[in-house]
Amino acid sequence: MCKKTDYHGTSNTQIDRCLRPLIDFLQDSTYDTISSCCGHGKYPITIIVKERHNGRDVFKELLTQIEIPRKRRFYNRDKQGYYYIPEAVSKV
C-alpha cells in the first residue's frame, strides 16, 4: 500500500509506487493502461484500460471487468482525499 503518489519516469503520468511493476508489465503487454490506483488500504486496487470493441473505445476496470461509462474523470475523491471508482466500490 502506498501513501504517496509521485511522477514515474519521464512521463507526466502519476503511478502509485506499489503498482509500478504491474503497470510497467501491463504497458509492455497488449493492454492500453489509462489510469490506476492502489486504493491506499481504503478502496480496492483499480486499473483502467482501454479496449476496442465494435469500432469504439471501451474503458474497463481490468481486475473486475466493470465497464466504465466515462472517457475521462474515472475517479471520484472522498472527503479524506482518497480516490476511488464508484462502479468498482459498489461491486465490493
Q: What is the pLDDT along the chain (92 residues), one digit of tens a residue?
A: 455 444 444 454 578 888 989 998 988 888 889 999 999 889 999 999 999 889 999 999 999 999 999 888 899 999 998 888 888 886 55
Return the pLDDT at 15: 84
What is the pLDDT, as a whole number, of residue 91?
59
Split into its structural domains, the chain has a count of 1
Domain containing residue 51: 5-90
Q: What is the model's pTM?
A: 0.78
CB 62 within 8 A of CB 43: no
